Structure 1
Amino acid sequence: MKKLILFFFLLISISAQSNKMVLIGESTYESSQFTYVRFSGNFNLSIGDTLFYQNNNDKIAGLVIKHLSSSSAACLRINDITSFKEGTSFYGYDRKIETVKENNEIKIEDNKPVIKTTNTFMNDSKTISNKISNEENISGRFSISSYSNTTNSGSNNYQRWRYRLSLNGNNFFDSTLSFSSYVTFAYRADRWNLTSSQLNRAIRIYDLSGTYKFDETYSLTFGRTVNSKVTNLSAIDGLQFTANYSFANLGVIIGSRPNFSDYGYNVKLFEYGFYLNRSDLFNNSYFENTLAYLEQTNNFKTDRRFFYLQHSNNLVKNVNLFLSSEIDIYKREKGHSKGDFRFTSFYVSARYSPSRIINFSASYDARKNVVYYETYQSFADSLIDVSTRQGFKFRTNIRPFPNMYINASYGYRYRGEDSKPANNYSATVGYSRIPFIESALSVGYNYLSTNYLVGNIYNARISKYIFEGSLNASLGYRRINYNFEYSTEELIQNEILFDLGYNISRMFTASFSYEGTFEKVRSYGRIYININTRF
């Protein structure tokens, strides 16, 4: 451990070199498929470039440019990220290019064709596709990850391997056929014999689909994929027909749900339905509504029948509103099927950004618990997730000075079966450019109170980019103190966190993370190594 800390501070002592990673812009709008970034200046970017966002003072890859104009870009979210908040800042590498001046006009000399698109990306299916040529475009990403868990007792030592492959193609063979895929293969090294005999449980197919466009109006998607218009329905195995009319988008779904136990194919979980989506643009404001109906079966018998509603707009200046709801219209009592009308899920969020210095967001979440696959969390983190599942949340982000930020949040939950409300307070203060050492520092505090525990979490992290931004190192400390309501024992943990990320080239990245947890008697160590390439 001493060597680890010494190595980190040796990195900090290296004099800072010019950092080519620059602030590119910020997100302005997000659809179910794309995140849209408005540029803050003139940059030489290309389709396929990666944009990074800041998380706890670390720059993390979050977007890949899919469509590009001179002032903005439509980007695909990567690394299992489902959404970004409006106003999120993104960074990238601005490649230097030469310019020549002819007849008082500056022309960019580049060996890549300039792709022109409209500045407004409201209609993903038509506006963009009309501007992009029908040339074949195939891209992919492959990664190998190792997750190791060690304890001083030796009773729970293991190593997990995970391989990820994502492959996407547009205009395959210069046709209107496109495809997408996202497949993982994971196993524990000490259980390889079991895994090799049950490969279907180790291989997870999250996306494996193709789409054929008959014309600019009609298209057919087949295979397994998540419908971008009704993402709450999870993955769908089957056929999805889409008609994009001028007044609305209409979709029909016929297929099945993935198997509950292993996410495999199960035709007995047959489902069918339809959705209606309409997007409107008023000056610089958008207004989008989606209504979906779905019937899900189990062994071909009705399991659930419900409506799904989704709405988003920014009609009020500086305010973004999003809400979704599910209404069940079917129930069975004493063996008899009956009609019903009850709200089983409701979520609403609003974000107010009066200036670049400060913004506020609030949400109310009464959704059903979501089952997450392949999520590995420490015991302390899982307690936070469960305790703050439903209720009200409020958050504010403040940038009082350049390079300084303050984040604060509050969460409240009360359900009838709880003996008392659950409260969750958290705050983080950070400075992204400390003089002389050119490093970023953040400190934070989290307080959690539920009907079965009271917890305090303190954390601090320092990080630094070196070698022109190609290498990032961070070192953190976290102290956890949980007192349980119905036990005299308390959980006290001291954690050391170390992360190292290296951009080997534009196509290869590697990262190393260590998390050591130390208690009075027991200690744990988790090591995560990842190698990633895109092509």
Structure 2
Amino acid sequence: MTRQNKHILFLSLFLLMTSVMDNLNSQNKVELLSGEVSYITGQNVYVKFGSTQKIEKGDTLYTMKNEVRVPALLVMHLSSMSCLCVPIGDNTFKVGDILLATIKEKTVFPIHEKDIIEKDINEQALSKVGDKSNRRSRRSDFSGRLSLSSYSTFAEADQYNSHRYRYRLSMDAKNISDSKVSFETYLSFTHKSGEWDRVKDNLSDALKIYSLALKYDFNEATSLWTGRKINPKIANVGAVDGFQFQKQWNSLYTGVVVGSRPDYEDYGFNPDLLEYGAYIGHQSKVTNGFAQSSFAIFEQRNAGNIDRRFVYLQHSNSIIKDVTLFSSMELDLYKLEDGTDKTELNLIGLYVSLRYRFSGKISLFGSYDNRKNVIYYKTFQNYADEIIQQSSRQGYRFRLNYKPIKYMNLGFSAGTRSRDEDPRANNTLSANVTYSSVPFINASFTLNGNMMQTGYLDGQVFGGRLSKNLLNGKLYSVLNYRWVKFDYVNTSTQLKQSIGEVDLSYHFNKKLYMSVNFEATFQEENNSNRLYLNLRKKF
């Protein structure tokens, strides 16, 4: 057996022996997505992520220096797994460098008739309050998914070619054998071709365990989780390694959490990052939907020292017909100033979103976001010592969806985000029109345009997308084209690109799925191609 075959066999056995749950949408608010520099041109840096779903144009990518996040790259353009970026300041990079991106919700324009609701990350985790599928049940239920994928880059310069492989397994086993015990877990294993020694040197670099928890239901109202678990009632806290106890009385619930945070560098287990807290909340069904409020107080430590102490308040409701409201607020209670502990109330985050459906044809969404950098006084003590004033990001976003006639959808979106240190605000304006039943070919066609203004450039992206179901719906095909133009502020530099994409997805049956995505980027120099393959099996 060759060495490569041994690796494949090892990974297959490893995955088959592990169980996990697919619940990665909610991450710790201060957790960062890790990406890697995959390709460099004279003007741009390409950073590859597992997914760019939570990254937006105009966002900043960071490097870590002496435990301090340092702004390094500005995101100019996105594909499904890669960011095209420009350096900030005099930063230089090489292929393989690690960059970090904060998790944010990405605006998604609907291309089908079903309206897509934009939500904050915590709103997503708590949006299933009234869902019948989320109610308690003593019946045994099992679901799982195994995913194998590869991501390859082919560039004119051989040194930029790369091949990455990712294996994911998820499982959710509720009330095993009709018992009071449930189990959930999710993991991802990633490695790069020709770099197996790197995996052996640092397994945590390749293996990420996002959830691994066991639950015991004392009765229908009382439960205990142990292991690594993201609690949707306190989603902003993120994953907790420890114990989570919850008790419910009709519409009132309360809980206690004791454990530790995942390591901020490799997401591994770190008992030094102790945290504990409690929460209380109320949820109920109302005439037009649901109403829910929650309050949590937490203290987080590092090697015994106070790292952070904060409270979190959240409210969401659909009391008014056709109106959905979500709001969250986070306040720090602890401050370390000149080596002295202080108790001081400080607003760290405020987020409010409102959605109103005027009729079946038109809906309006708006949000306000005002969040500051969260300071962990011991984890990032060098950073905290240098801070004079916390950086605050203010953002407004609006989206209007309109369906003037059958099969046609129009979308308009505008947003602005700014911080005190930004040269100028990040402004975006987007529009799209979709016709979901093109005559003669029975396909869906979308035209879209995006204009942006950031502190570093003015940009325009225009494109068209044609999608069609083939082979009685088993094969879904997409042709996509984008034209990109960026004019950089304070320089004569300009970037022009043409990006073509072909996406084919085939459903062998309800449980087996395969997709092939090919993307080609053309510019004056350093053209490149990317190929993404994915095979997914449900069980």
Query: After TM superposition, is the score higher than 0.5?
Result: yes
One-letter amino acid of the structure 2 residue matched with residue 220 of structure 1: L
Residues 124/360 of structure 1: CA separation in 2 closer, same or farther (3 Å cut): closer
Residues 288 and 321 in structure 2, CA contact (< 8 A), matched pair in contact too: no
Q: Name the CA distance, whole Å, in 2 between partners of 1:258 and 1:523.
A: 39
- CA drift of 1:354 comes to 1.2
Is residue 320 from structure 1 mapped to residue 327 from structure 2 by the alignment?
Answer: no
Correspondence list, 1:142-153, <5 A: 142-153=146-157
**What are the equivalent positions in structure 2 for 1:162-311 lying under 5 Å apart?**
162-311=166-315
What is the deviation of 1:196? 2.4
Letter in 1 for 2:477: A
2:349 equivalent to 1:366: no
1:291-320 CA-to-partner distances (Å, cap 9, x unmatched) read 000111112211100001111011222111
State which structure, 1 or 2, has the greater radius of gyration over its C-alpha atoms. Answer: 1
Q: Which amino acid aligns with 1:482?
A: F
The C-alpha deviation readout for 1:59-79, integer Å capped at 9, x for no partner, is x9xxxxxxxxxxxxxxxxxxx
Cα distance change on mapping 1:208 and 1:190 into 2, 3 Å: same
Which aligned pairs between 1:451-490 and structure 2 lie closer than 5 A?
Answer: 451-490=455-494
Aligned partner of 1:332 in structure 2 is: 336
| Structure 1 residues 414 and 194: alpha-carbon distance in aligned structure 2, compared to 1, 3 A threshold | closer
Residue 429 of structure 2: aligned partner? 425
Deviations 1:220-277 (A, max 9, x none): 0000010011111111110000001125110101001100111100000110001111
Q: 1:416-449: CA deviations, max 9, x gaps?
A: 2233332100011111110001111111100001
- CA distance, structure 2, for counterparts of residue 82 and residue 125 of structure 1: 26
CA–CA distance in structure 2, aligned partners of residues 199 and 244 of structure 1: 40
Partner of 1:398: 402
Amino acid at match of 2:228: R
Match of 1:343 among 342, 347, 350: 347
Taking only aligned residues, the RMSD between alpha carbons, in angstroms, comes to 2.8
User: Residue 441 of structure 2 aligns with which residue?
Assistant: 437
2:147 and 2:373 mapped to 1: Cα distance? Answer: 30
Matched, 1:528 2:535: no
TM, length-normalised to structure 1 = 0.73
Q: Assess if the C-alpha contact under 8 Å between 1:398 and 1:406 holds in 2.
A: yes
Q: Is 1:504 the counterpart of 2:518 in the alignment?
A: no
Q: How do residues 69-88 of structure 1 correspond to structure 2 at under 5 angstroms?
A: none
1:450 to 448, 454, 464: 454
Mapping of residues 153-168 of structure 1, within 5 Å: 153-168=157-172
Contact 2:498 2:521 (8 Å CA) reproduced: yes
| 8 Å CA contact retained: 1:309, 1:324 | yes
Structure 1's 125 and 403: CA in aligned 2 closer, same or farther, altered over 3 A? closer
Q: Are the aligned partners of 1:313 and 1:321 in contact in 2 as well (CA < 8 Å)?
A: yes
Contact 1:195–1:201 (Cα < 8 Å) also in 2: yes
Change (3 A) 1:457 1:126: closer
Shift of 1:125: 10
1:416 paired with 2:423, answer no
CA distance in 2, matches of 1:485, 1:456: 14
Contact 2:418/2:424 (8 A) holds in 1: yes
Secondary structure in 2 matching 1:155: helix
Identity, % of aligned positions? 37
Range with bigger deviation, 245-254 or 201-210: 245-254
Structure 2 unmatched ranges of 5 or more: 1-24, 27-79, 81-102, 116-127, 375-391
- 3-state secondary structure, aligned to 2:441: coil
Aligned length: 411
The letter of the residue matching 2:424 is: K
- Does structure 2 conserve the Cα–Cα contact (< 8 Å) formed by 1:313 and 1:320? yes
Are 2:288 and 2:320, in contact at CA under 8 Å, matched by a contact in 1? no
